[in-house]
A and B are shown apart, each in its own frame.
Chain A
Amino acid sequence: LAKTTQPISMDSYEGQEVNITCSHNNIATNDYITWYQQFPSQGPRFIIQGYKTKVTNEVASLFIPADRKSSTLSLPRVSLSDTAVYYCLVGANSGYALNFGKGTSLLVTP
Protein backbone atom coordinates (compact mmCIF):
# COMPACT_ATOMS: atom_id res chain seq x y z
CA LEU A 1 0.00 0.00 0.00
CA ALA A 2 1.27 3.44 -0.87
CA LYS A 3 2.14 5.56 2.14
CA THR A 4 0.40 8.93 2.26
CA THR A 5 1.44 12.14 3.95
CA GLN A 6 -0.93 15.03 4.64
CA PRO A 7 -0.81 18.06 6.91
CA ILE A 8 -2.10 17.32 10.38
CA SER A 9 -4.26 20.42 10.52
CA MET A 10 -5.37 23.45 8.54
CA ASP A 11 -7.36 26.55 9.38
CA SER A 12 -9.52 28.59 7.07
CA TYR A 13 -12.09 31.36 7.14
CA GLU A 14 -15.56 30.93 5.78
CA GLY A 15 -15.86 31.61 2.07
CA GLN A 16 -12.26 30.78 1.24
CA GLU A 17 -11.05 28.02 -1.01
CA VAL A 18 -9.16 25.30 0.82
CA ASN A 19 -6.59 23.06 -0.79
CA ILE A 20 -5.35 19.99 1.05
CA THR A 21 -2.37 18.24 -0.49
CA CYS A 22 -1.52 14.60 -0.04
CA SER A 23 1.86 13.10 -0.97
CA HIS A 24 2.03 9.51 -2.16
CA ASN A 25 5.44 9.00 -3.71
CA ASN A 26 5.11 5.21 -3.94
CA ILE A 27 1.79 5.15 -5.76
CA ALA A 28 1.42 2.09 -7.99
CA THR A 29 0.11 2.03 -11.54
CA ASN A 30 -3.19 0.46 -10.49
CA ASP A 31 -3.80 2.74 -7.52
CA TYR A 32 -6.62 5.25 -7.30
CA ILE A 33 -6.70 8.26 -4.99
CA THR A 34 -9.74 8.52 -2.76
CA TRP A 35 -10.74 11.15 -0.21
CA TYR A 36 -13.06 10.66 2.73
CA GLN A 37 -14.47 13.23 5.14
CA GLN A 38 -15.31 12.63 8.78
CA PHE A 39 -17.39 14.99 10.89
CA PRO A 40 -17.04 14.78 14.68
CA SER A 41 -18.80 11.73 16.12
CA GLN A 42 -19.78 10.43 12.69
CA GLY A 43 -18.51 7.77 10.33
CA PRO A 44 -16.29 8.67 7.37
CA ARG A 45 -18.00 9.68 4.17
CA PHE A 46 -16.68 9.28 0.62
CA ILE A 47 -16.03 12.61 -1.10
CA ILE A 48 -14.22 12.01 -4.36
CA GLN A 49 -11.98 9.60 -6.23
CA GLY A 50 -9.65 9.98 -9.18
CA TYR A 51 -6.85 8.37 -11.16
CA LYS A 52 -5.28 11.27 -13.04
CA THR A 53 -5.76 14.91 -14.06
CA LYS A 54 -8.86 16.48 -12.58
CA VAL A 55 -12.12 15.21 -11.16
CA THR A 56 -14.93 17.46 -9.99
CA ASN A 57 -18.21 16.74 -8.27
CA GLU A 58 -20.75 18.81 -6.35
CA VAL A 59 -18.62 18.75 -3.21
CA ALA A 60 -14.98 19.09 -4.26
CA SER A 61 -12.35 18.90 -6.96
CA LEU A 62 -9.38 16.58 -7.04
CA PHE A 63 -6.25 17.58 -8.89
CA ILE A 64 -3.68 14.93 -9.76
CA PRO A 65 -0.47 15.89 -11.59
CA ALA A 66 0.96 13.74 -14.35
CA ASP A 67 3.45 11.95 -12.10
CA ARG A 68 0.62 11.09 -9.63
CA LYS A 69 3.00 11.40 -6.68
CA SER A 70 0.68 13.86 -5.00
CA SER A 71 -2.90 15.02 -5.16
CA THR A 72 -4.81 18.07 -3.99
CA LEU A 73 -8.33 18.11 -2.65
CA SER A 74 -9.92 21.50 -3.31
CA LEU A 75 -12.96 22.67 -1.37
CA PRO A 76 -14.45 25.83 -2.90
CA ARG A 77 -15.85 28.52 -0.60
CA VAL A 78 -15.85 26.54 2.65
CA SER A 79 -18.47 27.04 5.30
CA LEU A 80 -18.45 26.28 9.02
CA SER A 81 -20.02 22.91 8.27
CA ASP A 82 -16.92 21.85 6.33
CA THR A 83 -15.04 21.58 9.62
CA ALA A 84 -14.01 17.93 9.59
CA VAL A 85 -11.10 15.54 9.19
CA TYR A 86 -10.17 14.78 5.60
CA TYR A 87 -8.44 11.51 4.72
CA CYS A 88 -6.44 10.72 1.61
CA LEU A 89 -6.37 7.02 0.71
CA VAL A 90 -4.36 5.43 -2.08
CA GLY A 91 -4.97 1.91 -3.26
CA ALA A 92 -6.46 -0.42 -5.82
CA ASN A 93 -8.88 -3.26 -5.58
CA SER A 94 -6.67 -5.53 -3.51
CA GLY A 95 -8.01 -6.46 -0.13
CA TYR A 96 -11.10 -5.06 1.49
CA ALA A 97 -9.90 -2.71 4.19
CA LEU A 98 -9.80 1.04 3.94
CA ASN A 99 -6.55 2.15 5.53
CA PHE A 100 -7.10 5.49 7.15
CA GLY A 101 -4.17 7.59 8.27
CA LYS A 102 -4.45 10.45 10.71
CA GLY A 103 -5.96 12.74 8.10
CA THR A 104 -6.04 16.52 7.99
CA SER A 105 -8.18 18.27 10.56
CA LEU A 106 -9.74 21.31 8.91
CA LEU A 107 -11.15 24.06 11.10
CA VAL A 108 -13.31 26.69 9.43
CA THR A 109 -14.02 29.83 11.41
CA PRO A 110 -16.20 32.87 10.74
Chain B
Amino acid sequence: EPEVTQTPSHQVTQMGQEVILRCVPISNHLYFYWYRQILGQKVEFLVSFYNNEISEKSEIFDDQFSVERPDGSNFTLKIRSTKLEDSAMYFCASSVTGGGSLYEQYFGPGTRLTVT
Protein backbone atom coordinates (compact mmCIF):
# COMPACT_ATOMS: atom_id res chain seq x y z
CA GLU B 1 0.00 0.00 0.00
CA PRO B 2 1.42 3.43 -0.90
CA GLU B 3 2.36 5.60 2.04
CA VAL B 4 3.62 9.05 2.91
CA THR B 5 7.22 9.08 4.06
CA GLN B 6 9.02 11.71 6.11
CA THR B 7 12.66 12.42 6.89
CA PRO B 8 14.29 12.71 9.28
CA SER B 9 12.35 10.88 11.95
CA HIS B 10 13.95 13.04 14.63
CA GLN B 11 15.73 16.36 14.29
CA VAL B 12 17.45 18.24 17.07
CA THR B 13 18.40 21.84 16.44
CA GLN B 14 19.45 24.91 18.36
CA MET B 15 17.21 27.91 18.77
CA GLY B 16 17.60 30.33 15.89
CA GLN B 17 18.71 27.71 13.40
CA GLU B 18 16.89 26.90 10.18
CA VAL B 19 15.41 23.44 9.68
CA ILE B 20 13.92 21.74 6.67
CA LEU B 21 11.56 18.85 7.14
CA ARG B 22 11.05 16.60 4.16
CA CYS B 23 8.10 14.57 2.96
CA VAL B 24 7.38 12.35 -0.01
CA PRO B 25 3.60 12.31 -0.55
CA ILE B 26 1.77 9.45 -2.24
CA SER B 27 2.60 9.66 -5.93
CA ASN B 28 -0.82 10.30 -7.48
CA HIS B 29 -1.96 12.73 -4.79
CA LEU B 30 -2.34 16.38 -5.66
CA TYR B 31 -2.96 18.04 -2.29
CA PHE B 32 -0.33 18.27 0.40
CA TYR B 33 -0.50 19.36 4.02
CA TRP B 34 1.58 19.99 7.10
CA TYR B 35 0.25 19.56 10.62
CA ARG B 36 2.00 19.71 13.95
CA GLN B 37 1.33 18.20 17.37
CA ILE B 38 2.96 19.59 20.45
CA LEU B 39 3.49 16.85 23.04
CA GLY B 40 0.25 16.04 24.82
CA GLN B 41 -1.80 18.42 22.69
CA LYS B 42 -4.07 18.12 19.68
CA VAL B 43 -3.04 17.86 16.04
CA GLU B 44 -3.00 21.37 14.53
CA PHE B 45 -3.26 22.29 10.86
CA LEU B 46 -0.46 24.44 9.48
CA VAL B 47 -0.83 24.68 5.71
CA SER B 48 -2.24 23.08 2.59
CA PHE B 49 -0.61 23.21 -0.85
CA TYR B 50 -2.00 22.58 -4.29
CA ASN B 51 -0.79 23.35 -7.80
CA ASN B 52 2.44 24.83 -6.46
CA GLU B 53 0.83 27.33 -4.19
CA ILE B 54 -0.55 27.60 -0.69
CA SER B 55 -4.30 27.03 -0.69
CA GLU B 56 -4.92 27.59 3.02
CA LYS B 57 -2.85 28.34 6.09
CA SER B 58 -3.49 28.70 9.78
CA GLU B 59 -2.46 31.47 12.15
CA ILE B 60 0.43 29.30 13.28
CA PHE B 61 1.94 29.41 9.79
CA ASP B 62 3.60 32.81 10.05
CA ASP B 63 6.53 34.31 8.15
CA GLN B 64 8.94 31.93 9.84
CA PHE B 65 7.41 29.02 7.93
CA SER B 66 7.52 28.24 4.23
CA VAL B 67 6.66 25.26 2.07
CA GLU B 68 7.99 24.13 -1.25
CA ARG B 69 7.64 21.34 -3.74
CA PRO B 70 11.15 21.46 -5.21
CA ASP B 71 10.61 18.56 -7.59
CA GLY B 72 7.95 16.07 -8.59
CA SER B 73 8.15 14.02 -5.44
CA ASN B 74 9.29 16.00 -2.42
CA PHE B 75 7.34 18.44 -0.27
CA THR B 76 9.24 20.44 2.34
CA LEU B 77 8.50 22.58 5.36
CA LYS B 78 11.14 25.14 6.30
CA ILE B 79 11.31 26.93 9.62
CA ARG B 80 13.67 29.88 9.22
CA SER B 81 14.65 30.63 12.79
CA THR B 82 13.47 28.00 15.21
CA LYS B 83 12.08 28.83 18.63
CA LEU B 84 11.74 26.59 21.66
CA GLU B 85 7.98 26.51 21.12
CA ASP B 86 8.46 25.00 17.66
CA SER B 87 9.36 21.72 19.35
CA ALA B 88 6.66 19.31 18.21
CA MET B 89 5.89 16.35 15.99
CA TYR B 90 5.36 17.54 12.43
CA PHE B 91 3.15 15.45 10.19
CA CYS B 92 2.96 15.64 6.43
CA ALA B 93 -0.21 14.45 4.73
CA SER B 94 -1.51 14.13 1.20
CA SER B 95 -4.82 13.49 -0.51
CA VAL B 96 -6.06 12.74 -3.99
CA THR B 97 -8.35 15.73 -3.92
CA GLY B 98 -8.98 18.55 -1.51
CA GLY B 99 -12.07 19.37 0.44
CA GLY B 100 -11.91 19.57 4.18
CA SER B 101 -12.83 16.43 6.02
CA LEU B 102 -14.74 15.02 3.10
CA TYR B 103 -11.69 13.42 1.52
CA GLU B 104 -9.29 11.11 3.26
CA GLN B 105 -5.91 12.53 4.10
CA TYR B 106 -3.00 10.12 4.41
CA PHE B 107 -0.52 11.01 7.10
CA GLY B 108 3.16 10.25 7.32
CA PRO B 109 4.88 8.92 10.45
CA GLY B 110 6.03 12.37 11.49
CA THR B 111 9.28 14.16 12.25
CA ARG B 112 9.95 14.92 15.88
CA LEU B 113 11.59 18.34 16.06
CA THR B 114 13.39 19.24 19.26
CA VAL B 115 14.64 22.81 19.63
CA THR B 116 17.18 23.36 22.38
Do A and B interact? yes
Interface footprint category on A: 20 to 34
- Count, chain B residues at interface, CB 8 A: 30
What 1/0 flags go to A40-66 for Cβ under 8 Å of B? 011111100100000000000000000
Q: Is B25 an interface residue (CB 8 A)?
A: no
What 1/0 flags go to B20-50 for Cβ under 8 Å of A? 0000000000010101000000111100101
Q: Is the CB of B110 within 8 A of A95?
A: no
B-contacting residues, A58-91, CB 8 Å = 87, 89-91
Main SS at interface, chain A: loop
Q: Is the CB of B91 within 8 A of A43?
A: yes
| Given A34-B101, A43-B91, A45-B107, A96-B42 contact (CB < 8 Å) | no
Q: Which of the residues A41, A90, A95, A103 comes within 8 Å of B56, measured between beta carbons? A: A95
| Given A97-B48, A97-B58, A101-B42, A41-B89 contact (CB < 8 Å) | yes
Smallest CB gap from B58: residue in A:
A97
The interface residues of chain B lying within 8 Å CB-to-CB of A101 are 42
Q: Is A107 an interface residue (CB 8 A)?
A: no
Smallest CB gap from A44: residue in B:
B107
Question: What's the least CB distance linking A38 to chain B, in Å?
Answer: 7
Q: Is the CB of A100 within 8 A of B89?
A: no
The interface residues of chain A lying within 8 Å CB-to-CB of B56 are 95-97
| Given A41-B89, A100-B43, A89-B108 contact (CB < 8 Å) | no
Q: Is A93 an interface residue (CB 8 A)?
A: yes
In Å, the complex CA distance between A44 and B35 comes to 10
The interface residues of chain A lying within 8 Å CB-to-CB of B50 are 96
Q: Is B93 an interface residue (CB 8 A)?
A: yes
Q: Is the CB of A90 within 8 A of B101?
A: yes
Q: Is B100 an interface residue (CB 8 A)?
A: yes
What 1/0 flags go to B93-116 for Cβ under 8 Å of A? 100001111111111111010000
Q: Is the CB of A98 within 8 A of B102?
A: no
Q: A97-B33, A100-B43 are in contact. List 10 more A-B contacts (CB 8 A).
A: A34-B102, A43-B93, A49-B102, A49-B104, A91-B101, A92-B101, A93-B100, A93-B102, A93-B103, A98-B33
